[in-house]
Structure 1
């Protein structure tokens, strides 16, 4: 079982409405399907979502690095030579989502080869996860209406609220409106995407002290070292490192340096192999983790679900798995489903999904 070929296929699927947050805006899922074929005729797939304002990757750069650098480096290697793959693609600096998609496609191919679900190969802790939904920038009434619709339709009772606008009062009003509209039984937590200063974030937290937030994420820039530590020391709830901690080394620095008390794991940037490393590190340090989302499509969400369900630590909190609900379509033969606030892991081999080739031909942008 050797890697015979690696493809990077760009595709574009519009969102039904823009997803807006402090560091950017997404109107179209200009993502890349990474597809691995083995010498035994097995195909593994994963999705790379470029986020140029966070990691510097674009759809074009992902296709180029996969086709020109990563594919020549891994073709011919045994399917299970994951450490060799990591070492070879690691010679190229950056490109986290391209590396992650290649890693997950290899895992998907291995699961299909041995006829087992990836989440079992990774640990198999549970067969479903509670789901959290992200609510992007809008007016308070519109954000409450969206959250109510998602709660009533899918049973979701956990919401990540995007904040980071200036002045802070606009976002404070949104959070208060959500609490008033959704009631006390719904979980609310904030994600600032590094939009505020530490002082602004502290002001917002004081103003929201009675709202009952469960945690906050990246309210201020990670490179404001002293100010961030000052903020985290005064934060009344767990402070989540996300964009500031994309690798295990970053997690170590953020946590031991006092710049975070919790970590977000995103398979879109660390794949399955490095996500396992990050999760194990956090477990050893006694740091809780949350399963995040990079505005993933259906394929990326299925991968995140498989990893999140594999470990106890990643299954304790509602996972951010619902961004695909805002897409006009997807590439799957069988769509994902959310029922009573949970997503069940697909029972088939690999990540349990199959790409609809007719849809891929319709949405791919490389001709």
Structure 2
């Protein structure tokens, strides 16, 4: 049960439409497939989505750090020695999604070796999660049409609305249009991707006070410490830290400093091991969490639901598990399906998914 080989394979799959938000715009899923081979011939997989405008990583940097630094340090380490794995990777600063994908692929190959699902290994609380869908920047009628289509097709009734545009009235109007069209039974919350100043965010939340927003995520710049703290004091809407809380230390800073009241956990940037540390932090402090999305493909989404379903706290809220619906294709042999507003954990050992070799051969960029 030792690591024999680690691969980092770049691939690219286009989206059906651009995904637009305050911190960036995505046209293609230029991700990296991570494969960890064990010495008994089993292979674990995970997906690393580079987000240079958030973490500074690129597709090329993820491949390089795994092939040149992480893989040589991890060959021969036992699949059970996860603390050793992280101690060696943490000698290199940053590179969160590269580290996360290696961690999740190790959990996957361990589950395959033991013939147990990752969800069971992590906690085994349930086998499915409710799904939240992200609605990105577009004219009001387009945003409404997308939300209605997703609700009618997949049964999703929780929507995360991207905000952070200027003037603020653009997003206030969009949220009002969504509430009017979807009715009171649909849950709406907003994510600013650090696009507004604290005063702009406070104004927008006041203007949307009658829309029954359930969360407000990362409305202001992550390093605006005093402004974020002031904003929390101005609103009763729970304030979610996302890009500002990517490590256990940052989670502590945001919560104890009063800059947030909830935490977004994304397995794409903290894997399973560090995500579990952050989850236990939040449980100990009595803080709610939401399972976020790094614009993951189906493999990354399978990892998110495997983790979220494993724990009580992460399974209470709808997880952001639907961004793969905007991709033209994917790598899995059996596509994920959202039905009745829920996504089930895939049955089988590990994460429960397999990569289609023909699709990988078609979309990979290194051959």
TM-score by length of 1: 1.00
Residue 192 (structure 1) aligned with residue 192 (structure 2): yes
Equivalent residue for 1:80?
Answer: 80
Residue 37 (structure 1) aligned with residue 44 (structure 2): no
Q: Structure 1: 5+ residue runs without aligned partners?
A: none
CA deviations on 1:296-322 (whole Å, 9 max, x unpaired) are 000000000000000000000000000
Equivalent residue for 2:289?
Answer: 289
Q: Offset of 1:203 from its aligned partner?
A: 0.4
Equivalent residue for 2:216?
Answer: 216
Alignment partner of 1:119: what SS? Answer: helix
Aligned equivalents of 2:100, 2:127: Cα separation in 1: 23
Q: Offset of 1:84 from its aligned partner?
A: 0.2
Aligned equivalents of 1:133, 1:235: Cα separation in 2: 24
Alignment partner of 1:210: what SS? Answer: helix
Q: Offset of 1:126 from its aligned partner?
A: 0.3
Alignment of 1:259-338 (within 5 A): 259-338=259-338
Equivalent residue for 2:50?
Answer: 50
Residue 240 (structure 1) aligned with residue 240 (structure 2): yes
Alignment of 1:114-153 (within 5 A): 114-153=114-153
Equivalent residue for 2:61?
Answer: 61
Aligned equivalents of 2:195, 2:284: Cα separation in 1: 31
Equivalent residue for 1:350?
Answer: 350
Aligned equivalents of 1:277, 1:96: Cα separation in 2: 15
Q: Offset of 1:26 from its aligned partner?
A: 0.4
Equivalent residue for 2:3?
Answer: 3
Q: Offset of 1:227 from its aligned partner?
A: 1.1
Aligned equivalents of 1:143, 1:236: Cα separation in 2: 26
Aligned equivalents of 2:215, 2:47: Cα separation in 1: 28
Q: How many residues align?
A: 367
Aligned equivalents of 1:175, 1:124: Cα separation in 2: 36
Alignment partner of 2:339: what SS? Answer: coil
Aligned equivalents of 1:314, 1:185: Cα separation in 2: 22
Q: Offset of 1:169 from its aligned partner?
A: 0.2
Alignment partner of 2:37: what SS? Answer: strand
Which 4+ residue blocks in structure 1 deviate beyond 4 angstroms?
none
Aligned equivalents of 1:124, 1:53: Cα separation in 2: 35
Aligned equivalents of 2:83, 2:233: Cα separation in 1: 38
Aligned equivalents of 2:164, 2:78: Cα separation in 1: 46
Alignment partner of 1:47: what SS? Answer: strand
Q: Offset of 1:225 from its aligned partner?
A: 1.2
Q: Offset of 1:234 from its aligned partner?
A: 1.3
Residue 166 (structure 1) aligned with residue 166 (structure 2): yes
Aligned equivalents of 1:271, 1:127: Cα separation in 2: 19
Aligned equivalents of 1:45, 1:331: Cα separation in 2: 11
Q: Structure 2: 5+ residue runs without aligned partners?
A: none
